[in-house]
A and B are shown apart, each in its own frame.
Chain A
Amino acid sequence: MESLHLTLKQEPIAPLEAECISPTGFLGKSADQIRRLPLLHGKDRVELGEFFDVKGDSQAGRVVVEGDLARVKYLGCAMDRGTLCVKGPAGMHLGERMAGGTIEVEGDVDDWAGAQMTGGMIRIRGDAGNLAGATLPGEKQGASGGCIVIHGDAGNEVGASMSGGLVVVAGDCSDFAGVGMRGGILAILGSAGRRAGAGMADGVMVCIGDLQLLPTFVYSCTYRPVFLRVLGEHLRRVGVTGMGVGGSTPPGRVDELYRRYVGDANDRGKGEILLCQSENTA
């Protein structure tokens, strides 16, 4: 497939803010025009061509960025179409306020991945930092749509204040997962840290591994939620097998019993935490 290739020439010594690097930002631009797009290196305004080799054509809507991009921020920010492939680690604010398209990252990603996203899909093959799919400082609402799949672990406050969409963490989460959730689904296939679901007003958190519940969550029942099967089928289609249907590898989790808790009673209390019975025996 025809695509535009950006290769990092030199590692930035300060954070490089590259909001324009996305299929949306490159739409209708030639390679020369793309090389002249402005980036912010620390406090200095620089041209994209100073840090990246640019080859190929962006018309097909596929952009590939290669290199150690751990200090490159805002990759795929506000993108609404196309595919962005990041081959290497990515910096903060990847896919922030994203509305459509797909971001594939073959590495770890720093904080605020997919923060306040409204649509599209982010797949992170490595670990994610803090606040994936969460809200930005000073804002009230986190992700309201789209899907974030983290194949590794996630940091603190994953899905904080999210109001819609789906965040899947195939590994473990640190503290305050789903804090202040207003909607959407946060699926943790590993374990969650302390105070998961604190201030949860609505939405669903599913946890396969250990989760220390706050006392402000109330037990409802133990059952097999049918909607988890729909979720499991969806996850299977997006390449996450840890919750797949029976017969998949690892064994499907959707056939198991789940303990349902509602809360947080300190807030509206319409949130829901589903704990896999076989993994949470406490």
Chain B
Amino acid sequence: MQINGVRIDDAASEAYDLVGTRVIITADSPELACAAAMNFTGYATAVAACECEAGIEGPALNTTTPDGRPGVAVLFFASTQENLEAQLVARIQQSVMSCPTSACYSGLASETQIAVGTGLRLFGDGWQSDIVLEGKRYWRIPVMDGEFVVEAAFGCAAGVGGANFVIFGEALDAVLAAGHDAVEAVAGVPGVILPYPSGMLRSGFRLGSRYKSAPVSTYAPLCPTLRGRSESSLPDGVHAAVQVVVSGLGIDCVGDALRAGIRAACRRRDGVAGITAASHGGKVGPHKVELHEVLQLPGDSDTLSEEEF
């Protein structure tokens, strides 16, 4: 299969099950809301290492936030509902409640709910109070600039993580440029996040290591510096690769994100040799995301020309 002259491997990435929620962080200014969200989503790239995966989904317009202030929508995932609740309580307390003027609300309507604000209220040491509006309970926790308002229950839903594609090319500059295009396109898809810094991952991994204490190690087949010493998956002339990893609220939106990302990565074909996916032999997760399947080229065509593109 080719898109705009860029080869798309018949490869599949694995994806694992997650439980996720959408958190709306608001503040008096977009800058403060963003600062809280950035801190809140720090060190949250993979559940295996960080207990959670989180990323900024996008700005929450003040016409849509529960308190009418500017805000940021964050998607937050963990491996289980219990972990999700524990991580949210800890991170909201340290990263959101600590930020002046901030407030925090559930941005996902679901019958399955976790008691986030109910856990956080204990910080109030008995001085907390609550209000109930339209069946939703909001806790008011006294803090030094007034009150921190947090919704008691957050809706949660099934999610998937780890879906990915790898862009490889002749030079790092070309690969990074294609990666940026892909990240920009994926950011426009609702319900997904790119948990790694800048949306790209250069340290693709394999499960296991020659060292007992290391659960994961570098993905040698995609490391250009190991060509000649280890079996390489990179074609001749390819000297760099980056991986775009997507987590989201369901396999459908993750598929949409991969499609948007791959098509954007193929936009500038100069220096981009191809797209593939990293797989771990079914050890990472039960879901397989076939690149050719998500791309859904029209009819029986396996090529999308520049004009069609």
Which residues of A come within 8 Å of B, CB atoms?
Answer: 145, 164-166, 184-185, 204, 221, 223-227, 229-234, 245, 254, 270, 272
A245–B138 CA distance with the chains assembled, in angstroms: 19
Question: Are the C-beta atoms of B133 and A166 separated by less than 8 Å?
Answer: yes
Bound complex: CA of A164 vs CA of B228, how far in Å? Answer: 73
Of B67, B101, B129, B146, which one neighbours A230 at CB under 8 angstroms? B67
Q: A226-B67, A245-B68 are in contact. Are A231 and B146 (CB under 8 A)?
A: no
Residues of chain B within 8 A of A232, CB atoms compared? 68
Contact indicator B133/A231 (Cβ below 8 Å): yes
B140 within 8 A of A: yes
Q: Is the CB of A225 within 8 A of B131?
A: no
What are the residues of chain A within 8 A of B140 when measuring CB–CB?
Answer: 227
By a CB distance below 8 angstroms, the chain B residues around A225 are: 146-147
B147–A230 touching, CB < 8 Å: no
Q: Which residues of B contact A145 (CB under 8 A)?
A: 132
Give the chain B neighbours of A229 by CB distance below 8 A: 67-69
Task: State whether the Cβ of B37 lies closer than 8 Å to any Cβ in chain A.
Answer: no
Distance between A183 CB and nearest chain B CB, rounded to angstroms: 9
| Least Cβ–Cβ distance between A180 and chain B, in angstroms | 18
With A232-B68, A245-B68 as given contacts, are A227 and B132 in contact (CB-CB < 8 Å)?
no
Cα-based distance from A23 to B303 in the complex (angstroms): 61
CA distance A230 to B134 in the complex (A): 11
Q: How far, in Å, is A263 (CB) from chain B's closest CB?
A: 14
- Dominant SS at the A interface? mixed
CA distance A145 to B137 in the complex (A): 12
Residue of A nearest to B63 (CB): A245
Given known contacts A226-B147, A226-B149, A234 and B133 CB-to-CB distance under 8 angstroms: yes
Contact A233 B68 (CB under 8 A): yes
Instruction: Judge whether B66 is part of the interface by a CB distance below 8 angstroms.
Output: yes
Query: In whole angstroms, what is the CA distance A219 to B103 when docked?
Result: 24
- A204–B132 CA distance with the chains assembled, in angstroms: 11
Using CB atoms, name the residue of chain B closest to A235: B133
Q: How far is the CA of A254 from the CA of B129 in the complex (A)?
A: 19
> How distant is A127 from chain B, measured CB to nearest CB, in Å?
24
* Residues in chain B near residue A272, CB distance under 8 A: 129
Given the complex of chains A and B, what is the CA–CA distance between A29 and B147 in angstroms?
51
Having A224-B146, A227-B67, one finds 19 other A-B pairs with CB under 8 Å, namely A145-B132, A165-B132, A184-B132, A204-B131, A223-B145, A223-B146, A225-B146, A226-B69, A227-B140, A227-B147, A230-B131, A230-B133, A230-B149, A231-B131, A231-B133, A233-B66, A233-B67, A233-B68, A245-B62
Determine the distance from Cα of A126 to Cα of B82 in the docked complex, in whole angstroms: 49
- In the bound complex, do residue B132 and residue A230 qualify as a contact, i.e. CB atoms below 8 Å apart? no
Interchain CA distance A182-B103 in the complex, whole Å: 26
Residues of B within 8 A of A221 (CB): 146
CB-CB nearest 5 A-B residue pairs: A229-B67, A245-B68, A223-B146, A226-B149, A234-B133
